[in-house]
């Protein structure tokens, strides 16, 4: 008992961590959306463990079995972010922007053992606005601006899914969901030479995708805790993903849980992205209010380094309607990605993720 209280005290000193929000990738696989519900975001962007109600068809559809009647989830979110580029000229460059996330899902139980769900959600975003100076060395520790690189990218990927969950035994529930992962986008990259006599180099790319996607998962509830496992396939501009987690109920605040999860993206690549998270969900520390806290890391592939993400979430119970709120913060240090350039020492990214959701039981 005292051990749990000590762990709680340590975690509550931290705002909850939401990982899995990466720096905006406008030319590759986009930035994954973590906020299918504010609770899933506040739990660190968990995929395998219960966090999203009907919206679990985009994460672990086995969670549909936990629905008590009919549930409708509606979530929207926005992220504000900036980047600081540290170069050999010892000056900073900033970029800022925002992107929205939208989820609408509904689910219901059709028997004691079978539940179904359907919905639509944005799953990744390609929006990016960036400007960077390209330097040339003209002497010992002396540089000048040779060119300016500009990238303007827009687009997003969505999923329209249906799913089903079945209680197989007392200790095993399985679920599967599938549908279409679709979207479109464009990017313009302009390389402006400072020399006015040089010809500017502009590249414009447009893309459109529509691919089949599938999510599958299991939940294994035991007396000592619950295991979760889920995954999804890769499509043209979306990484494959698998997550495994464990959570258990705590001796204080009945209904509270504590857990952890490991998440791997791009399983088919030699350098996959890896993230981990530790979270705690507190049931009614105040009347009709539940809160969530988490801490974790993400080491993305390519040029990225490990990142730290912080946030918190709360759910307010109004009877048939719950209002979910979430605020998350991410910080990452990385090498150049959108504009790889040898004179850049480091790029520091930071973003704040605001989300609000509604859960309605008709």
Q: Average the pLDDT over 14-27 and give the result.
A: 43
User: Are residues 85 and 340 in contact, defined by beta-carbon separation less than 8 angstroms?
Assistant: no
Alpha carbons 156 and 154: distance in angstroms, whole number: 7
Backbone angles phi, psi at 160, to 5 degrees: -120, 110
**Pick from 214, 220, 270, 206: nearest CA to 242:** 214
Indicate if the pLDDT at residue 249 is higher than 80.
yes
Choose between 305 and 296: higher pLDDT.
296
Q: Residue range 166-179: average pLDDT?
A: 97
Q: Give the Å distances, CA to CA, from 302 to 25, 29, 240.
A: 11, 11, 15
**Considering all CA atoms of the chain, what is the largest pairwise distance in Å, rounded to the nearest integer?**
76
* In contact, 77 and 84? CB cutoff 8 Å: no
Given a cut of 50, is residue 359 above it in pLDDT? Answer: yes
User: What is the C-alpha separation between 340 and 67, in angstroms, rounded?
Assistant: 47
Residue 42 clears pLDDT 90, i.e. is over it:
no
Length, in residues, of the chain: 362
How large is the average pLDDT for residues 75-94? Answer: 63
Lowest mean pLDDT among 28-32, 82-86, 200-204, 215-219: 82-86
Q: Measured between alpha carbons, how far is 31 from 130 in angstroms, rounded to an integer?
A: 15
Check pLDDT > 50 for residue 342. Answer: no
Long-range pairs for 318-321 at CB < 8 Å and ≥24 separation?
A: 318/288, 320/360, 320/361, 320/362, 321/358, 321/359, 321/360, 321/361
> Which has the minimum average pLDDT: 34-43, 61-70, 146-155?
146-155
Domain ranges (residues) in the chain: 2-360
Region 338-353 average pLDDT: 58
Per-residue pLDDT, 40: 86
Residues in contact with 275: Cβ distance below 8 Å, sequence separation at least 6, in sequence order: 19, 20, 45, 262, 263, 265, 296, 297, 298, 299
Task: Give the CATH fold of the 2-360 domain.
Answer: Porin (2.40.160)
Quick one: pLDDT at residue 200? 64
Which residues, 6 or more positions from 229, have their beta carbon under 8 angstroms from its beta carbon? 48, 60, 217, 218, 242, 243, 244, 245
What are the angstrom distances between the C-alpha of 269 and each of 234, 235, 264, 302, 355?
11, 14, 11, 10, 32
Identify the pLDDT of residue 129.
73
Say if CB 45 and CB 277 are below 8 A apart: yes
Q: Is 266 left (phi over 0), alpha (psi -120 to 50) or beta?
A: left
Q: Which of 78-92, 205-219, 224-238, 311-325 has the lowest mean pLDDT?
A: 78-92
End-to-end CA distance of the chain: 39
**83 band by pLDDT with thresholds 50, 70 and 90:** low
- In the predicted structure, residue 12 carries a pLDDT above the cut 60: no
What does the mean pLDDT of the chain come to?
A: 80
pLDDT (mean) for 262-279: 85
List 100's β-bridge partners, or say none.
78
For 90: left if phi > 0, alpha if psi spans -120 to 50, otherwise beta; the answer is left
């Amino acid at each position: 008992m005292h051990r749990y209280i000590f762990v709680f005290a340590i975690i509550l000193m931290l705002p909850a961590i939401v990982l899995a929000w990466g720096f905006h990738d406008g030319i590759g696989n986009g930035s994954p959306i973590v906020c299918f519900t504010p609770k899933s975001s506040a739990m660190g962007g968990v995929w395998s463990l219960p966090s999203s109600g009907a919206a679990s068809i985009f994460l672990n559809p086995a969670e549909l079995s936990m629905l008590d009647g009919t549930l409708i989830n509606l979530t929207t979110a926005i992220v504000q972010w900036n980047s600081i580029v540290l170069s050999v000229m010892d000056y900073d460059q900033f970029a800022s922007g925002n992107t929205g996330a939208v989820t609408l899902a509904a689910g219901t139980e059709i028997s004691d053992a079978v539940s179904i769900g359907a919905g639509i959600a944005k799953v990744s975003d390609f929006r990016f606005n960036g400007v960077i100076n390209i330097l040339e060395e003209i002497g010992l520790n002396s540089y000048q601006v040779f060119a300016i690189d500009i990238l303007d990218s827009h687009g997003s990927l969505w999923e329209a899914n249906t799913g089903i969950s079945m209680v197989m035994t007392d200790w095993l529930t399985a679920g599967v969901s599938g549908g279409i992962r679709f979207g479109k986008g464009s990017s313009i990259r302009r390389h402006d030479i400072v020399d006015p006599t040089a010809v500017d180099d502009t590249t414009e790319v447009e893309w459109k995708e529509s691919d089949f996607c599938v999510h599958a998962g299991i939940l294994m509830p035991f007396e000592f805790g619950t295991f979760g496992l889920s995954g999804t396939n890769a499509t043209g501009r979306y990484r494959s993903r698998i997550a495994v987690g464990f959570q258990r109920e705590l001796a204080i605040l009945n209904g509270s849980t504590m857990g952890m999860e490991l998440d791997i993206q791009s399983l088919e690549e030699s350098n996959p992205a890896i993230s981990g998270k530790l979270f705690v969900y507190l049931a009614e520390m105040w009347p009709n209010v539940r809160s969530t806290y988490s801490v974790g890391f993400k080491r993305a592939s390519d040029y990225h380094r490990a990142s730290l993400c912080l946030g918190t979430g709360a759910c307010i119970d109004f009877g048939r309607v719950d209002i979910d709120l979430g605020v998350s913060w991410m910080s990452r240090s990385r090498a150049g990605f959108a504009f790889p350039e040898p004179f850049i020492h480091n790029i520091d990214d930071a973003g704040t993720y605001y989300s609000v959701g509604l859960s309605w039981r008709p």
